[in-house]
Structure 1
């Protein structure tokens, strides 16, 4: 259906800005069709080449996509402010955010030793003692740690690497369903996300093989606590994926172990198998604090050089105050005990919801991590139905590329007693909407 929003502008830049403004303000919704190039050119009194250039820039930035005969439409998750998830309505129990339980996070206390004076840390961007701790942390799980680096979170690292390694128009193999911020990031960089199906053991080898044959330049995957599906690599699955990746030795493999310490599953990493180009990244936001925007990464020498070279030209280094805080928490015995309790608690809560749903004939997925994925026939009917019972869950649309519909339920703060009530309400909603649960 053609849009009603009035696009304006006499130059390619002005036309692109007009479209972006319409998307940001909500006047152009995801899926809205833009006018054909020649029609808009006639309306604005410009050449078709000017409009084509504007559309090309919008595609490069992930704001629109072109669907062949279907024309140019606003992307499902356009890379502007309107792609943020909706606010939680007042009075509802929030199970949509994917955040850890605040009661299971340590108190954040600024370090007593502050960096002296106003000086640059470009020559020594990483604290040696934190590097040592990271090597021990990752090495215990079998990740090679000859080269390690830090970043301002996993998205910061992935975005920096993809922008250095790839060019607009290149394709990236992405988990489907997958983490919506990563999907948005790939689109914002002007890259093409190639959906790779997942199951309870993570990325499916057949889907990854198809993506590699299609020419992807990078693969982004989660070895455990996959978000939102919850899959985790088995030994057999890891070995099968390693065999597939042998056909693409120059492909950059990004392993995002975002939940690590609270994933409630062992790490079966791809990185110890002799890959040519790889990076394993971990954050601490799920178990030390959501405001600790820090990530550790181990990688091959080429990836290290390219990442750190670009970091040097931008922020230069990760704050040493932040590094001091992270080091203090990682090495604190009390915090280590709290993290262990969080890991156990999240496992119990996730298992309780899966059990309660299964008892009512509702199949769901969540082999590890903080989320449960429930396939449904009609996402809107389920989300709105659960809202009427006082629950707020995440519609699956923003996590999906080609996968079937579903909803994501975050279990971090869901006590087992509450899980029974939620499952009962879920079953009632399915009955009330007369949805045929397809799994």
Structure 2
């Protein structure tokens, strides 16, 4: 149900002036998200301008993501990105932080290999990718069977996905997103002026029935995680991959973006949609989870058209990814000591996640975490659980900022949780859930 703009007086006699008036109403809060704007002809008559002038106004506002058109539902003010509400609260003093989603620093390189500064005179735009790192990235993908004919670089996963969506879609278009899903991605989509269509997930990733419903609603892109799904931990089995490809069959215009952000520490095999003959596809990988959170470098394997569009926009903006950063990543990826650390991180991550799942199961607590570095626990009252665990010295993430339409839960990051601590945490969680249930029961 949309509210109607009856209190705010839109003014202007040109498309630019009318657009400025509407935007000012949005800035002032007089036109809130969901407010329906007058039909083109009605507003034209009110302002004494031609319908074409108002149509041009609405088109420009759609392009900039200020309004969206819902067919017969008319033109409405777009939803603003809920960035503030999804920012995590500060970690209180004196508690174990299991909310951040970060890797264990013990398994990250303590020193970076020396890297040479790029010469002052070089055509970086003509050769934006270091040949050595491009070859390493190709092998990285080929290791898991992902086609590596077309590869490029970006400044991390969010930078890459933002560029892909901005060159492929226009404001008002819809994107299928995992629910629950990665909170920064959930914020990114509306920030680009796009609509989010939630797709339910389970232990095998996005559900085929939910994806089918999203495609029928007209989504132009799908963003999903083939493994280490954040925050639920799901990963595509061979059967799930086949079922999803069957659903995607016949939708060649839809861009499928896989976010394989934790490829090297996921602890499970990759069953990627990118190997299923899709017309438009992309897989993004980063090194922040296994080499260092401040290494803002990502690789992108994709189809030929996606590569051209991504790199065309990159060329017009940042131009290239820092060659110093590329040199640093190259040295880390080829350093024997670093590779040993990554192997240790992969093993420890799986053991710690499974230890907590086992302890929770022993206490009758349902939880999800088939891969990756997080465990998702469904709860009735997120705040009660977060605050209850805080009194026991644990700090976990409330699920609200990860959710669109899915049920409540809390995310526990297990990457830095020693297996010996899984039992005490599970016992404390059981006590907190018992207290919460008693409260609900009166």
TM-score (norm 2): 0.85
Alpha-carbon shift at residue 436 of structure 1 (Å): 9.6
Alignment pair present for 1:349 and 2:352 = yes
2:99–2:396 contact (8 Å) kept in structure 1 = yes
Alignment pair present for 1:252 and 2:255 = yes
CA-to-partner distance for each residue in 1:301-351, whole Å, 9 max, x for gaps?
Answer: 000000000000000000000000001011111111110000000000000
- Give the one of 349, 362, 366 matched to 2:369: 366
1:62–1:78 contact (8 Å) kept in structure 2 = no
- Structure-to-structure mapping, 1:424-439, within 5 angstroms: 424-434=427-437
Aligned-CA RMSD value:
3.2
Take 1:396 and 1:144, find their aligned partners in 2: how far apart are those partners? 35
- Structure-to-structure mapping, 1:4-403, within 5 angstroms: 11-19=21-29, 61=65, 78-81=81-84, 83-109=86-112, 111-403=114-406
CA-to-partner distance for each residue in 1:340-392, whole Å, 9 max, x for gaps?
Answer: 00000000000011011111110100000000000111111111111121211
Alpha-carbon shift at residue 14 of structure 1 (Å): 3.1
Say which SS state the counterpart of residue 219 (structure 1) adopts. strand
Alpha-carbon shift at residue 78 of structure 1 (Å): 2.9
Alpha-carbon shift at residue 120 of structure 1 (Å): 4.0
After the TM superposition, which segments of 4 or more aligned residues of structure 1 sit over 4 Å from their partners?
A: 7-10, 32-38, 56-66, 72-75, 79-82
Q: Which runs of 5+ in 1 are unaligned?
A: 21-31, 39-45
* Pair 63,397 (structure 1): closer, same or farther in 2 beyond 3 Å: farther
Take 1:346 and 1:63, find their aligned partners in 2: how far apart are those partners? 44
* Pair 60,86 (structure 1): closer, same or farther in 2 beyond 3 Å: farther
TM-score (norm 1): 0.85
Q: Which runs of 5+ in 2 are unaligned?
A: 12-20, 39-45
The size of the alignment, in residue pairs, is: 409
1:281–1:295 contact (8 Å) kept in structure 2 = yes
Larger radius of gyration: 2
Say which SS state the counterpart of residue 198 (structure 1) adopts. strand
Deviates more, 1:80-89 or 1:335-344: 80-89
Say which SS state the counterpart of residue 236 (structure 1) adopts. helix
Say which SS state the counterpart of residue 173 (structure 1) adopts. strand
* Pair 288,63 (structure 1): closer, same or farther in 2 beyond 3 Å: farther
Alignment pair present for 1:417 and 2:420 = yes
1:63–1:188 contact (8 Å) kept in structure 2 = no
Deviates more, 1:183-192 or 1:108-117: 108-117
Deviates more, 1:323-332 or 1:383-392: 383-392
Take 1:320 and 1:286, find their aligned partners in 2: how far apart are those partners? 21
